[in-house]
Every structure is written in structure tokens, then in C-alpha cells.
A = this chain, B = another copy of it.
Amino acid sequence: MRFNLGFFLREAAKNMRLNALMSITAVTTTAVCVLILGVGLLFSAHVESLIRQVGKDVAITAFFPENAPREQVDEARAKVEGYPEVAEVTYISEAEALNRFKETFSEQPNIYEGMDPGVLPASLEIRLAEPGASDTVAERLRSDGFEGLNYPQQAINRLDQVTGYVVWGLRAATVLFLVASVLLISNAIRISIFARRKEIEVMKLVGASDSFVRTPFVLEGLVQGLVGATLAALLVVWGNAIFVEWVQNQIPFIPISSAAVNTLFVLVLLIAVGVLIGVLGSFLSVRRFLRV
């Protein structure tokens, strides 16, 4: 017997129309779950990206000896820029260092009044690609002859540690949301198919094969999952765009970025999740009642 897609699609469509209450329930359940999942996903993505951003603000300052010659500075700079862990290197001359110092203590001029330009040494301000690499970089700097290093060892370590935990926690939460979604959606599907177990029995008794009975149910699950998940996914992506713009306007100093989220990926992922649960949930729920 050939697979008659047209017939199965008509069957599925008819069932959804006649069991409208059930279909709507299945669709809203899927939509709500996918929505939560999507919001969780985006929240994770933004927080991870923010944390990375903060990590990039961490800098190591490496001081040059007093009156280091120009060539030494250039050479050292080139070397440091070559470190794989380093994102950006800025040279701070002695004059600049004094200016910065003055700015910091602008309200207490008596502190810097007597200072010579040469008191504060020139330095390299080194921003790292990963805050976790600070120890490695410090090691490299020392072995390359820098003696005066200034870096917020503890702050970096803490940031690094917290970053790790937060990222880990966010991923765990996302997985939990996923599991919850699977449970909730498949629960809804299971009850709605349970409500139709007698029909399944009758179909089997008049000679329908398992797959003949199953296919319209699975198609229903597919369509419901697709509709619910697509609605939710579009809502999530649209909401994300609005949110990012709002933050950029209202809290501009928060370095949020629409680049933190791969919109297409999220869209596809969420829809795939909805469809997959719809299809698998229907498949497995129907199977339970096919043993007639």
C-alpha cells in the first residue's frame, strides 16, 4: 500500500478542525513553552555576552623602567601584541601617566602638586581576550623582562570564577527549561491522545495498520508544534530586537548588542524543538494505544 500523503493531510486537517479545542490547547501549550525557552535562551546569550564584555575591560599594566629608550618600548610593545591571549595594547607615556593621575585626584591638588613628570613611569596597558589568561600573560611579561606589573589579580580571578559559574548556570537553566518544555508539551499531547484512545482502537479493529492510524496524529502533532513554536519564536526574536534597541537607548552604558544573539539560529532552534516534541510526543503517545 503506497503512502498517501494527501489522504493523511486531509485527515489531520479534519481532525484539527473537529477537535479545535484540543488543537488550540496544544498550540498554546507549545507556544508558551517555546516562548519561555526562547526568553531563557536570549537572556543567557545576553548575559554571557555582557560578562565577556566586562571581562575585556580588565587590563594589566606593565611599567617600563624609568627613561626607557624609544626602541625598547616599541620592541616590547610589538612582542606583547604578539601574545595570543592579548586583545589590545595601549602605550602610556610618562606625561600621559601624570595627566591621568592628576585627573584622578583632581579634587586634591595638594597630592600631585609637587610631582615631577618623571615620577610616574611609562607603561603598556594590556587588555586581555579572556580574563582567565591574566596569570599566563603576567608570567610571559615577567619572563620578557618587565618587572613592575600592576594587575587586579583578585578581581580578575573572581570575575573569572563568577563568569564560569554564571555561564555554567545559564546553560544548566536552559537545559532545564528544555526538559520542562518537553515534559509539558508531551504531557498535553499525551492527554489529548488519551482522550481519543477509543478512536484509535476502532481504527485498528476495522483493519488499519499501525502506521495508517499513527500518521494523521503525527502530522497533527507536527502542524501544532510548527504553528505554536513559530508563533513563539517570532515573538521572541521580535521582542529581542525591541529589547536591545530599548536598552541601547535607555541604558546606553550597558554594552548590550544584537550581535550577542544569532537570530536565525534561535528561530530555527526553537521551531525545531517545537516540531520535534510535537512529532515525537504524538508518535509515542499513539503507540501506547496501538496494541489492539
- CB of A195 within 8 Å of the partner chain: yes
Could you say which residues of chain B place their CB within 8 Å of the CB of A120? 108, 111
- Determine which residue in A176, A183, A191, A253 has the highest number of CB atoms from chain B within 10 A of its CB, and name it: A191
Interface size on A, residues (CB 8 A): 43
Q: Are the CB atoms of A25 and B111 closer together than 8 Å?
A: no
In the bound complex, what is the Cα–Cα distance between A119 and B105 (angstroms)?
12
Q: Are the CB atoms of B180 and A35 closer together than 8 Å?
A: yes
Partner of A184, one of B29, B190, B191: B29
Would you list 24 pairs from A and B whose C-beta atoms are within 8 A, ordered by A residue?
A25-B187, A28-B187, A29-B184, A29-B188, A32-B183, A32-B184, A33-B184, A36-B36, A36-B177, A36-B180, A39-B173, A63-B108, A107-B148, A108-B121, A108-B150, A110-B119, A111-B119, A114-B114, A158-B251, A161-B251, A165-B250, A165-B251, A188-B188, A194-B195
Other A-B pairs beyond A39-B176, A194-B195, 19, CB < 8 Å: A22-B194, A25-B187, A25-B191, A29-B183, A29-B187, A32-B184, A35-B180, A39-B173, A63-B108, A107-B150, A108-B121, A108-B150, A110-B119, A111-B119, A111-B120, A162-B254, A184-B184, A188-B191, A195-B195
